[in-house]
């Protein structure tokens, strides 16, 4: 028997991008584990990925190309050869492209975060065709805009410093489920005497473990941050020297913050006024005492109308108290912009035929698939190629998404590991390799290491890497630029820009051997300012926001749908609904892995005892959740973990694995955030009722 251990990277959409070790026995991957030497992975994988071999060798893996034989959505297919699949796709795309290339739309997200299998060969292919571009907004673009206006980019604290913080605000995140390697450091900080504060309308697994839990109404975080600023300024818990040297617009900010009395803040956030005071004092007081204060800012607060502004306001706090002076102080949202990713080399935008093709926002795919040609929209979408994403389950206002994909005149190709809800609508379904079967190179959004992924096993069945599928399609369509012959190794070798000092040491061959390598970034990056904003300062006042038609100062933008902002709607639909990630799923990935699904059980809806009683709902009852956009059902869990007026449906279920064939996205809306054009998944009013039967 031959046993080898292969260095790999977890490909999932998770900040932790773990360095993995894959044990291979006689060509079969028998075990994956976390690399004990990698400082952030520290030998630990989450429960989901610890089962990665179960997913790779799943009996329902797609192993052959397939052609649809029944109506769209029913998922009936027959096996065909690769030649036939590629010929069919090339012929259809050629015909559409000859008429109007922008009628072709790629649809992809972060099923794999690899820089090679994510978007390299695929982007080159679509660029060369002149296809519509995709605006990748479904997750992070609201917060990205907010932090970029304020701090200059998705940069900030290093996760490896959090254990030394004395106060950690865990704001809009549930790291026990979604960022466990940060959580390990937060727990260590707590052991060393730090105070952990969760700011989350829901008593999440994480909030349960923090010493303090503050539960504002969803979508009111921007107000909470303004209230904190008010108190920090009123009680002079400020670092005047840091403010003077490294921030812009303090006097304007002060005037704005003055309007945010603790009373007004408490009223809008739906929390006691004492909590606003307490939060500001424990944050500002610790900083004033010279202790490092840290904020782990996450995604939960971004998925509402004012999500971008909420992130911006929170990002102003560390500069006010001088938290950036410490390695363990500041804020971390995403590390993405710390990496000098070489996008031009990976994606070759130079292949675009001018003029620049239109871009379609992935968050409004429901409406856009249903739109006719018009001068504002451009041509109708005639062909969509989906890879690394499952829009029928994950995109907002799912009934429209499904109707769009059901269009008989739409040509749909899906590259997948499994027959997902989206795959059911494919005309041609292509089997893709998993991370154990292909090469890749990764950056991370929660740490500062470049991580390599070596293939551990041969592709299953006839599966092929995304890159190879687009390489073959390019050849079939007669695209002959030299870049379409690049191997995955060639592409990986160009993933980071070595001219940038942060990645000057990047060498693909060495990285493949070693597994991971940290960027060269100082431990205390903003002690002396130097933010990547136009002014080099933390911009409390942002001229760029003004130019973009936004309020240049921190502000509060109420949700689209809440009792306060839309009382008429709230009379019909009095409950706010959020649908954050379930611990055992990763977005909609892993929902079909039996062991993980059985841990989650079935779709649940958490309701506060008061709301349950008012509707005659008991724990364990089947309930129907509805609004004007749609309806889905779940089993009620009556629990004080939610606040009155808030219901929580942990997500994202495969629709076809739920008893009613639906999930929470039946009810979410396609309205976009204040900035970044992101979806508003957690800005939703609903009503809940007990269903008569058990179905």
Ligand X SMILES: Nc1nc2c(c(=O)[nH]1)N[C@H]1C(S)=C(S)[C@@H](COP(=O)(O)OP(=O)(O)OC[C@H]3O[C@@H](n4cnc5c(=O)[nH]c(N)nc54)[C@H](O)[C@@H]3O)O[C@H]1N2
Least CB distance to ligand SF4 at residue 45 (A):
4
Strand partners, 214: 199
Q: Out of 139, 557, 563, 650, which residue is the one contacting Mo ion (CB under 5 A)?
A: 139
- Measured between alpha carbons, how far is 221 from 214 in angstroms, rounded to an integer? 11
The secondary structure of 435-471, three-state, reads HHHCCEEECCCCCCEEEEECCCCCCCCCCECHHHHHH
Least CB distance to ligand X at residue 303 (A):
6
Q: Which backbone phi and psi does 429 adopt, to 5 degrees? A: -115, 125
Helix axes 262-269, 273-288, angle to 10 degrees: 120
**Cβ closer to ligand SF4: 16 or 666?**
16
Partner from Mo ion, ligand SF4, ligand X, none binding residue 16, C-beta < 5-8 Å depending on class: ligand SF4
Smallest CA-to-CA distance from 538 within 338, 325, 230 is with 325
113 binds Mo ion (CB under 5 A): no
Residues 191-250 that bind ligand X (CB under 6 A): 199-202, 204, 218-219, 221
Q: Which residue has the tokens 């307490």?
A: 278
CB atoms within 10 A of CB 202: 24
Question: How does DSSP classify residue 526?
Answer: T
Least CB distance to ligand X at residue 649 (A):
8
H or E element that contains 589: none
Cis preceding linkage at 652, omega within 30: yes
Q: Judge contact between 307 and 671, C-beta under 8 A.
A: no
Q: Judge contact between 439 and 455, C-beta under 8 A.
A: yes
Q: Two tokens at 83? A: 């030649």
285 CB burial (10 A radius; 0-12, 13-18, 19+): middle
How many residues touch ligand SF4 under the rule CB under 6 A: the total is 12
CB atoms within 10 A of CB 619: 12
Smallest CA-to-CA distance from 315 within 535, 152, 189 is with 152
Least CB distance to ligand SF4 at residue 179 (A):
8
49 binds ligand SF4 (CB under 6 A): yes
How many residues touch ligand X under the rule CB under 6 A: the total is 57
Residues in contact with 160: Cβ distance below 8 Å, sequence separation at least 6, in sequence order: 39, 40, 185, 447, 448
Per CB under 6 A, which region of 11-19, 266-274, 320-328, 603-611 contacts ligand SF4? 11-19
**Cβ closer to ligand SF4: 12 or 464?**
12
Q: Build a one-symbol-per-residue string for 572-591: x at contacts with ligand SF4 by CB under 6 A, - elsewhere.
A: --------------x-----
Residues in contact with 387: Cβ distance below 8 Å, sequence separation at least 6, in sequence order: 106, 107, 108, 111, 122, 414, 415, 416, 432, 466
> Can you list the pairs that 469-476 forms with residues at least 24 positions away whose Cβ atoms lie under 8 Å?
469/415, 469/430, 469/432, 470/121, 470/122, 470/124, 470/125, 471/121, 472/82, 472/86, 473/86, 473/89, 473/90, 473/93, 473/125, 474/121, 474/124, 474/125, 474/128, 476/86, 476/87, 476/89, 476/90
**Cβ closer to ligand SF4: 22 or 45?**
45
Least CB distance to ligand SF4 at residue 590 (A):
9
Partner from Mo ion, ligand X, ligand SF4, none binding residue 221, C-beta < 5-8 Å depending on class: ligand X
207 binds ligand SF4 (CB under 6 A): no
- Measured between alpha carbons, how far is 621 from 637 in angstroms, rounded to an integer? 8
- Measured between alpha carbons, how far is 141 from 132 in angstroms, rounded to an integer? 19
- Measured between alpha carbons, how far is 497 from 1 in angstroms, rounded to an integer? 41
Partner from ligand X, Mo ion, ligand SF4, none binding residue 18, C-beta < 5-8 Å depending on class: ligand SF4
Kindly give the residue spans of alpha helices, DSSP state H, lying in 377-504. 391-394, 398-405, 466-476, 488-492
Partner from ligand X, Mo ion, ligand SF4, none binding residue 35, C-beta < 5-8 Å depending on class: none
394 binds Mo ion (CB under 5 A): no
**Cβ closer to ligand X: 177 or 441?**
177
Residues 379-408 that bind ligand X (CB under 6 A): 387-390, 394
Least CB distance to ligand X at residue 420 (A):
5
8 binds ligand SF4 (CB under 6 A): no
Per CB under 6 A, which region of 158-166, 491-499, 518-526, 583-591 contacts ligand X? 583-591
Least CB distance to ligand SF4 at residue 52 (A):
8
Least CB distance to ligand SF4 at residue 92 (A):
36
Helix axes 221-234, 273-288, angle to 10 degrees: 60
Kindly give the residue spans of alpha helices, DSSP state H, lying in 515-591. 543-547, 567-572
180 binds ligand SF4 (CB under 6 A): yes
Q: Out of 420, 533, 562, 627, which residue is the one contacting ligand X (CB under 6 A)?
A: 420
593 binds ligand SF4 (CB under 6 A): no
**Cβ closer to ligand SF4: 437 or 539?**
437
Least CB distance to Mo ion at residue 336 (A):
12
Q: Which residue has the tokens 């727990």?
A: 187
Per CB under 6 A, which region of 7-15, 81-89, 348-356, 598-606 contacts ligand SF4? 7-15
Q: Out of 276, 323, 401, 415, which residue is the one contacting ligand X (CB under 6 A)?
A: 415
Q: Judge contact between 59 and 593, C-beta under 8 A.
A: no
Least CB distance to Mo ion at residue 152 (A):
22
**Cβ closer to ligand SF4: 162 or 560?**
162
**Cβ closer to ligand X: 172 or 318?**
172
**Cβ closer to ligand X: 342 or 579?**
579
174 binds ligand X (CB under 6 A): yes
**Cβ closer to ligand X: 154 or 417?**
417
Least CB distance to ligand X at residue 52 (A):
11
Least CB distance to ligand X at residue 310 (A):
7
Q: Two tokens at 103? A: 């009628």
Question: How does DSSP classify residue 113?
Answer: -
Least CB distance to ligand SF4 at residue 16 (A):
4
**Cβ closer to Mo ion: 97 or 365?**
365
Residues 428-457 that bind ligand X (CB under 6 A): 432
Q: Build a one-symbol-per-residue string for 137-156: x at contacts with ligand X by CB under 6 A, - elsewhere.
A: -xx-----------------
**Cβ closer to ligand SF4: 400 or 438?**
438
Partner from Mo ion, ligand X, ligand SF4, none binding residue 180, C-beta < 5-8 Å depending on class: ligand SF4
Partner from ligand SF4, ligand X, Mo ion, none binding residue 670, C-beta < 5-8 Å depending on class: none
Helix axes 221-234, 250-258, angle to 10 degrees: 110
Q: Judge contact between 668 and 681, C-beta under 8 A.
A: yes
Partner from ligand SF4, Mo ion, ligand X, none binding residue 49, C-beta < 5-8 Å depending on class: ligand SF4
Give the residues lining the site for ligand SF4 (CB under 6 A).
10, 12, 14, 16-18, 45-46, 48-49, 180, 586
Give the residues lining the site for Mo ion (CB under 5 A).
139
Give the residues lining the site for ligand X (CB under 6 A).
13-14, 109-112, 117, 138-139, 171-174, 177-178, 199-202, 204, 218-219, 221, 298-301, 304, 387-390, 394, 415-418, 420, 432, 466, 578-581, 583, 585-589, 651-652, 664-665, 668, 681-682
């Amino acid at each position: 028997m031959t046993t080898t251990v292969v260095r790999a990277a977890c490909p999932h959409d998770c900040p932790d991008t773990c360095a993995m070790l894959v044990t291979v026995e006689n060509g079969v991957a028998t075990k994956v584990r976390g690399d004990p030497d990698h400082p952030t992975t520290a030998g630990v994988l989450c429960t989901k990925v610890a089962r990665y071999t179960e997913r790779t060798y799943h009996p329902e893996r797609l192993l052959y190309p397939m052609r649809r034989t029944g109506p769209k959505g029913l998922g009936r297919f027959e096996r065909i050869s690769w030649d036939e699949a590629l010929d069919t796709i090339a012929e259809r795309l050629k015909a559409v492209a000859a008429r109007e290339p922008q009628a072709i739309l790629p649809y992809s997200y972060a099923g794999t975060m690899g820089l090679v299998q994510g978007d390299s060969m695929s982007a080159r292919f679509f660029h060369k065709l002149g296809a519509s571009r995709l605006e990748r907004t479904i997750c992070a673009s609201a917060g990205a805009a907010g932090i970029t206006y304020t701090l200059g980019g998705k940069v900030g604290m290093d996760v490896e410093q959090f254990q030394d913080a004395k106060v950690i605000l865990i704001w809009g995140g549930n790291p026990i489920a979604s960022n466990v390697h940060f959580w390990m450091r937060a727990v260590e900080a707590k052991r060393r005497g730090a105070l952990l504060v969760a700011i989350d309308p829901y008593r999440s697994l994480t909030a349960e473990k923090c010493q303090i839990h503050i539960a504002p109404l969803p979508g009111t975080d921007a107000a909470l941050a303004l209230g904190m600023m008010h108190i920090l300024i009123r009680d002079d818990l400020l670092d005047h020297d840091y403010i003077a040297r490294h921030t812009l617009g303090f006097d304007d900010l002060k005037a704005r913050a003055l309007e945010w009395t603790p009373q007004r803040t408490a009223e809008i956030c739906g929390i006691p006024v004492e909590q606003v005071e307490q939060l500001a004092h424990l944050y500002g007081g610790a900083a004033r005492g010279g202790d490092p204060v840290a904020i782990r800012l996450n995604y939960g607060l971004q998925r509402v109308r004012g999500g971008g502004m909420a992130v911006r306001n929170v990002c102003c706090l560390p500069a006010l108290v001088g938290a950036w002076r410490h390695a363990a102080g500041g804020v971390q949202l995403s590390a993405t912009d710390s990496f000098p990713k070489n996008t031009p080399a990976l994606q070759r935008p130079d292949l675009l035929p001018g003029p620049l093709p239109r871009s379609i926002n992935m968050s409004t795919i429901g409406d856009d698939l249903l739109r006719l040609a018009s001068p504002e929209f451009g041509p109708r979408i005639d062909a969509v190629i989906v890879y690394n994403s499952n829009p029928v389950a994950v995109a907002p206002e799912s009934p429209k998404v499904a109707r769009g994909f059901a269009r008989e005149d739409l040509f749909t190709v899906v590259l997948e590991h499994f027959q997902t809800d989206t795959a059911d609508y494919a005309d041609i379904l292509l089997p893709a390799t998993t991370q154990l079967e292909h090469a890749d190179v990764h950056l991370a959004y929660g740490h500062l290491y470049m991580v390599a992924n070596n293939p551990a096993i041969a592709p299953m069945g006839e599966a092929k890497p995304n890159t190879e599928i687009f390489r073959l399609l390019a050849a079939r369509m007669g695209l002959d630029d030299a870049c379409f012959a690049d191997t995955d190794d060639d592409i990986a070798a160009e993933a980071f820009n070595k001219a940038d000092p942060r990645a000057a040491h990047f060498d693909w061959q060495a990285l493949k051997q070693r597994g991971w390598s940290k960027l060269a970034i100082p431990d205390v990056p903003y002690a002396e300012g130097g933010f990547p904003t136009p002014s080099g300062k933390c911009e409390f006042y942002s001229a760029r926001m003004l130019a973009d038609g936004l309020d240049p100062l921190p502000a509060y933008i109420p949700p689209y749908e809440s009792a306060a902002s839309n009382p008429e709607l709230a009379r019909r639909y009095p409950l706010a609904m959020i649908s954050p990630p379930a611990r055992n799923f990763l977005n909609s990935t892993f929902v079909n892995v039996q062991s993980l699904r059985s841990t989650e059980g079935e779709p649940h809806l958490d309701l506060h005892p008061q709301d349950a009683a008012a509707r005659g709902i008991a724990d364990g009852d089947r309930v129907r959740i509805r609004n004007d956009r749609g309806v889905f059902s779940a089993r009620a869990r009556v629990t004080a973990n939610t606040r009155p007026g808030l219901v929580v449906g942990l997500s994202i279920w495969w629709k076809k694995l739920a008893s009613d064939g639906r999930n929470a996205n039946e009810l979410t809306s396609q309205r976009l955030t204040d900035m970044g054009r992101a979806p508003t998944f957690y800005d939703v009013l609903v009503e809940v009722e007990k269903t008569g039967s058990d179905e």
